[in-house]
């Protein structure tokens, strides 16, 4: 992993960070497995081939060791190296949600540096699906802390206006949905209305749909506009998937301790991932032709890699 990241796990200097994100944005303008929109760019839907083993995480929220732990487990990094797997991040990699750290943006910068290096190393095997925190808007806030605005301000202060603009371009280039033969995933929600593949591909023409995919939550009596079992069924049909195909979202942790919830609201094969817990991290992957959840204890991988810095050969 240290070789992939080009040295110790630490933030890049501003000039290197800008060069990195600009290279990533060039890749995004030709990203694999995304039917082109009528703008001539990769559209809002990733159609992943069934030959690639998915490794899905969601809502990392600046927990760098959680991402590194996933890569170090179950030969996932080897599978990326040999071209047999794809890492899929279901949005919200930034903005720490730990108490007392809501304003801290250093870990968010480091997280994006790492994701961008992975994207360049594995351009056809690393995919980032847009989440609601992948934005600079004032609506992105937690406990009164305007994390979206603070994120923009900190990027400008540390890396300049050009970097902030490049990050905005990256957000604009992101897909909203990923599907394969045996799963579909997005950041937050199944659409409430009937949609088509064409609408997902040309999502720039459907801003309401884009907002719904990254912001809505499942139905509760206190949340009458949430999506339901019927919406999930219809979404699977839209993508020509079987009745109980695995549908994975992040965005809505069901309690303050767990990292994974299965068959939520009694909807078979509909699961929620939240990969930002301190101490444990969940993923979904395919083993023996079946989509399965795995939970790993988080290791201090960042510290371990830093300790290798001056080790003699």
For residue 79, give the CATH number of its domain: 3.60.21.10
Q: Which of 135, 130, 35, 44 is nearest to 89 (CA)?
A: 130
What's the pLDDT score for residue 8? 74
Highest mean pLDDT among 3-17, 56-70, 133-147: 56-70
| pLDDT of residue 249 exceeding 70 | yes
Would you put residue 285 in left (φ > 0), alpha (ψ -120 to 50) or beta? beta
Residue 196 pLDDT exceeds 70: yes
pLDDT value of residue 312? 47
The Cβ of residue 78 has, within 10 Å, a number of other Cβ atoms equal to 11
Report the pLDDT value the prediction gives residue 271, as an integer from 0 to 100: 98
pLDDT attached to residue 313: 40
Pick the closest to residue 269 from 287, 284, 251 (CA basis): 284
Work out the pLDDT band at 31, boundaries 50, 70, 90. Answer: very high
Specify the pLDDT at position 9: 81
Q: Tens digit of pLDDT for each residue in 85-98?
A: 999 999 999 988 88
Query: Does a structural domain hold residue 248?
Result: yes
- Mean pLDDT, residues 52-68 taken together: 96
Question: Per-residue pLDDT tens for 159-186?
Answer: 999 999 999 999 999 999 999 999 999 9
Does position 308 have pLDDT exceeding 80, yes or no? no
Give me 119's structure tokens: 């994207």
Q: Is residue 237 part of a domain?
A: yes
Crossing angle for the helix pair 64-72 and 106-121, to the nearest 10 degrees: 30
Q: Is residue 140 part of a domain?
A: yes
Q: Hey, what's the torsion of the CAs at 166, 42, 247, 232, to 10 degrees?
A: 110
Is 198 part of a structural domain of the chain? yes
Tell me the whole-structure pTM to 2 decimals.
0.94
Please indicate, yes or no, if residue 20 is contained in any of the structural domains: no
Res. 101 pLDDT band, cuts 50 70 90 = confident
pLDDT confidence of residue 100: 83
Domain count across the chain: 1
Q: What is the mean pLDDT of the chain?
A: 93
Q: Give me the pLDDT at residue 95, please.
A: 87
Domain membership of residue 129 (yes or no) is yes
The verdict on residue 6 lying in a domain is no
Residue 168 in any domain: the answer is yes
Do residues 191 and 208 touch, judged by C-beta distance below 8 A?
no
Residue-number span of the structural domain to which 38 is assigned: 33-307
């Amino acid at each position: 992993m240290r070789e992939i990241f080009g040295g110790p796990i630490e933030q890049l200097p501003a000039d290197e960070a800008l060069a990195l994100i600009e290279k990533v944005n060039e890749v995004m303008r030709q990203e694999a497995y995304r039917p082109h929109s009528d703008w001539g760019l990769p559209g809002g839907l990733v159609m992943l081939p069934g030959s690639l083993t998915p490794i899905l995480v969601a809502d990392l929220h600046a927990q760098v060791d959680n991402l590194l732990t996933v890569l170090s487990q179950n030969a996932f990094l080897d599978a990326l190296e040999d071209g047999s797997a794809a890492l899929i991040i279901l949005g919200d990699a930034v903005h720490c949600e730990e108490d007392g750290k809501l304003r801290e943006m250093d870990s968010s910068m480091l997280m994006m540096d790492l994701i961008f290096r992975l994207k360049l190393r594995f351009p056809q095997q690393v995919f980032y699906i847009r989440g609601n925190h992948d934005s600079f808007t004032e609506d992105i806030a937690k406990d009164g802390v305007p994390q979206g605005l603070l994120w923009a301000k900190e990027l400008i202060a540390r890396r300049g206006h050009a970097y902030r603009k490049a990050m905005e371009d990256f957000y604009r280039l992101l897909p909203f949905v990923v599907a394969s033969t045996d799963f579909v995933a997005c950041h937050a929600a199944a659409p409430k209305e009937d949609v088509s593949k064409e609408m997902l591909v040309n999502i720039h023409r459907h801003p309401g749909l884009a907002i719904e995919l990254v912001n809505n939550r499942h139905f509760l009596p206190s949340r009458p506009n949430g999506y339901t079992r019927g919406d999930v069924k219809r979404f699977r049909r839209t993508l020509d998937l079987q009745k109980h195909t695995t549908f994975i979202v992040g965005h809505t942790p069901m309690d303050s301790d767990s990292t994974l919830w299965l068959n939520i609201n009694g909807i078979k094969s509909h699961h929620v991932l939240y990969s930002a817990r301190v101490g444990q991290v969940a993923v979904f992957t395919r083993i023996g032709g079946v989509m399965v959840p795995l939970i790993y204890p988080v290791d201090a991988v960042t510290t371990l890699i830093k300790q290798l810095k001056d080790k003699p050969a």
